[in-house]
Chain A
Amino acid sequence: MRDMIQEAFTAKDYLSDIRPIWCPGCGHFFILRALAQAFAWLKLPNEQIGLISGIGCSSRIPAYINAYGFHGVHGRALALATGLKAARPDMHVVVAGGDGDGYSIGGNHFIHACRRNMDMTYIVMDNEVYGMTKGQPSPTTEPDWESKFAPHGTGIRTFNPLGVALASGASFIARGFAGDPNGLTKLIIEAIEHKGFSLVEIKSPCVTFRPDEKEWSKTMRKMNMVPTDDVLEAAGKIHGSDGLDTGIFYQATLPVFEPHSTKEKTVADFEKEFEV
């Protein structure tokens, strides 16, 4: 029997031997599991997956997945992934990281990755804090959240990743919750299956620096509706939401950037251009 079960792809086939050492309770654990489940359901060959990350608690994820991974520098995962996808269109490229990594230091790459709309999936493990550096406010932190770094809060309004993604040209925009593993797995599967740049912004409690975020298990809601491909409607939904709705806010067929190259010439042909 065991053998028969293993014939099918299971999450185990995608989890590496290295075990995560996130804080017990951290939302990132559930996202890791959901990601492995999604890979298994899609039966992606491990060697065709490129899992790219930056730096942060969340960005440790490639080490835990049995695939090709790149644990790069803080904030640049999307750029590195863009290079990989351009060089290797055959790879399934998944980028994962935190809210600090993606929306703050990597904010410019976020905008342009959406705009490029290359066929890849971006998973943001948003805990509204810089976890790894011990609890400083991130772009998604509420303005009045007090911390050592910002004793009176930042006083700066929060960043709206879904709104920015929509305005920048991403073609799949969803929000998930780490505490809803089944719903999350489904979102990730649909994001990977989507042709184009897919953003899955996942609320993932940092139990250590934001213990209050455990409340999300009570407050997050499922939005059961067919995704719209109408930008105005999506904008309405995104901006109308208090940030606690999960589901696909927008999915559309938009031009995907795919470098096209041929082999019609050789270097020798170009050398001739210089002849006098």
Chain B
Amino acid sequence: MKDRTITVSVSGSGGSGAVTIGLVLLKSIANVGFYGYMSRSSGPQIRGGESSVILSFSDHPIERNADGIDLHFALDWRGFERFSDEIALNSDSCVIFDSSHDTLPDMVAKIGANIIEVNLKEQVKQIKESLPNSFAIGILAAQIGLPLESVFKALQQTLHQKDEAFIKDTIRAIEAGYTLLEESPSLISDWQPSSQSRWNISGNEACGLGALRGGIRLVAAYPITPASDIVEYLAPRLEKVGGTVLIAEDELAAMNMVIGGSFGGKASMTATSGPGVSLMTEAMGLAVASETPALVVNVMRGGPSTGIPTKSEQSDLNQALFGMHGEAPHIVVAPLSIADTVSATQWAVGLAEAMQTLVILLSNQRLGQSRAIVDAVPAKTYELQRKVLAEESAEPYERYAVTEDSISPMAIPGNKQGLYTAEGLEHTDAGKPSSMASDHLQQLRKRESKVAQFDYKDEWAEILTSGKRSRAIVLTWGSTFGSVKESVMELNREGMAIDLLALRLLMPLRVDAIKELCEDKQVIVVEQSYSGQFYHYCLGQGAIGASSLSLAEAGPLMLKKSDIKHFIKEALL
């Protein structure tokens, strides 16, 4: 709480409404001018399983949950053991629970937190259409110090289609909850409201918006957790801006549909997760070989195989980098936060279009399915467009002609001057299949060089320097950025001098630029994978030296700020 951040968690089983509480509180905090972040977790049941949310609030933008929980509300304790490692209660936590059907479990009692019991069954009896979670909203709002009006407004925004009697009774229940406990510490009384225009957005929605901004016109996908939300966001919207969502029979189809749509001249993408990418891999190579722009969004979950579908990891990095057979130069981009997902996706679409190749965007469950109040993300202009053959072109057309920037104009079907057959076989510059060594080498070079010599501008990374002569630099990527950034900033405030380099462009790796930033500094690589994929990648590419250190932890638990800080401190002893 010292950094003006409070973290509240809610858990419950079987439709008890933990997620609704989270959504209402997040909106309420936005309504009073603050920021917030909500991650969610659920049991394996499709419906009615236990679920939990963890919310962190602050008066400055925040895109991660703090290490510890300040306030926890248990609607019941059933299945709580599933969340006990995520909802990290400690002796400073305040735990409120509904004692009408459960007693306090031993595992919680042992922690020594401040425990408050409420009997919600009795409360519910007094208001006809009320539900226990409405009282919980009131109780939590009072504890946090949220004004009631902000909660009512949030309620209206959340429950717009429910009937009036229900809303009236819910409001009464919230009011009752608000005054139920004598003590309400009002944790946010000294916070400064923001005057920025802000958005309430999830990472997957951010990806969808970025795709729209990038000009995507065809999406083909097969459902998979945790990526389906992207398609669900796009389905009703894309068709209103002239695009289409195709429901593919499987991921093999989805990827080929994307290539077909893109061949037809429309920016195209798919969204999936690890198992889906595995099925798409052959056709991803086709996008590279045939030089057809294509965007594949991988919202990573835990692997291998079906793995941990509902939880997060950064372990598909190797697959994204090296998954294809043959030598298939392509682009791998990763957003650093929910807000960053909007622009990173827009950029990714542009890169695919401009370089006529495959771009993989690596998001993950934590980024994709978390929701945050962020400053509105203005649209960017990257000026990345597909180079197309002019309708009036007079010269004989060679689809894969070697040009100065190695990008050859693409003929869009309908253009009389550009009839050609796109090829997945190795081919000549004219597109004729060929297995000649010279043709192979020419086209390998062409495909490699267009990607290697492209100007990625400043977008390739976020670089934070300590402002002093730094002794160390932390390298990271993707969703771990939030925790790493806070850790580094705190350490710098404590007097250390550490730089931070967070890569948005993972392939091609900007080896020289990274080397320069890392020179004479202790390099520490932080990531969420068991085997240290990112570390080994940077090492293998020669971007970092052999004395670099690796902090790599498997998912699904988020890397703790305290662990990162501890690791850095130890490294610099």
Contact = CB atoms under 8 A, between A and B. Distances in A.
Given A83-B257, A108-B250, A267-B212, A276 B200 contact: yes
Contacts of B250: 108
B261 interface: yes
A83 B414 contact: no
Contact of A76 (B213, B238, B256, B420): B256
A80 B290 contact: no
Interface core residue of A84, A265, A267 (most chain B CB under 10 Å): A84
A79 B422 contact: no
B559 to A, nearest CB: 28
A71 B256 CA distance: 12
Contacts of A66: 419
A276 B282 CA distance: 43
Interface core residue of B213, B256, B258, B420 (most chain A CB under 10 Å): B256
B209 A270 contact: yes
A76 B376 contact: no
Interface stretch (B48-56, B239-247, B489-497, B531-539): B239-247
Contact of A48 (B209, B261, B282, B414): B414
Q: How large is the interface on B (under 10, 10 to 19, 20 to 34, 35 or more residues)?
A: 35 or more
Interface string A25-57: 000000000000000000001111011100100
A69 B421 contact: yes
A87 B283 contact: no
Contact of B422 (A45, A47, A71, A109): A71
Interface in A51-82: 51-52, 55, 62-63, 66-73, 75-76, 79-82
Interface stretch (B13-21, B60-68, B116-124, B264-272): B264-272
Nearest to A88: B264
A264 B433 CA distance: 44
B79 interface: no
A260 interface: yes
A71 B413 contact: no
A259 interface: yes
Contact of B414 (A75, A91, A109, A275): A91
B568 interface: no
Given A70-B290, A81-B260, A108-B253, A274 B242 contact: no
Contacts of A63: 421, 432-433
Contact of B421 (A71, A91, A263, A264): A71
Contacts of A76: 252-253, 256, 283
A265 B246 contact: no
Given A87-B264, A275-B199, A50 B286 contact: no
Interface in B270-308: 282-283, 285-286, 290
Chain A interface SS verdict (over half): mixed
A250 B414 CA distance: 32
A75 B282 CA distance: 11
A134 B28 CA distance: 68
Contact of B257 (A69, A80, A90, A265): A80
30 contacts: A18-B432, A47-B419, A50-B263, A50-B413, A51-B421, A62-B421, A63-B432, A68-B420, A70-B290, A72-B259, A82-B253, A83-B218, A83-B257, A83-B259, A85-B260, A86-B220, A86-B257, A109-B249, A109-B252, A109-B253, A259-B245, A261-B239, A261-B242, A263-B241, A265-B240, A267-B241, A271-B199, A275-B199, A275-B376, A276-B27
A82 B257 contact: yes
B486 interface: no
Interface in B18-58: 27, 30-31
Given A86-B257, A88-B264, 9 more contacts: A69-B422, A73-B282, A82-B257, A83-B218, A87-B244, A87-B260, A87-B261, A261-B239, A275-B376
Interface core residue of B205, B419, B421 (most chain A CB under 10 Å): B421
Contacts of A266: 241
Contact of A90 (B290, B414, B423): B414
Interface of B: 27, 30-31, 197-201, 205, 209, 212-213, 217-218, 220, 237-246, 248-250, 252-254, 256-266, 268, 282-283, 285-286, 290, 373, 376, 379, 411, 413-416, 418-425, 432-433
Contacts of B262: 83, 87
A71 B260 CA distance: 11
Given A82-B246, A275-B376, A259 B239 contact: yes
Q: How large is the interface on A (under 10, 10 to 19, 20 to 34, 35 or more residues)?
A: 35 or more
B396 to A, nearest CB: 11
Contacts of B256: 72-73, 76, 79-80, 83
A262 interface: yes
A270 B206 CA distance: 11
Given A108-B250, A261-B239, A267 B213 contact: yes
Contacts of A75: 252
Nearest to B238: A261
Contact of A72 (B248, B268, B424): B424
A262 B257 contact: no
Interface string A232-276: 000000000000000000000000000111111111001100111
Nearest to B241: A265
A69 B419 CA distance: 8
Nearest to B248: A79
Contacts of B217: 87
Contacts of A87: 217-218, 244, 260-262, 264-266, 268
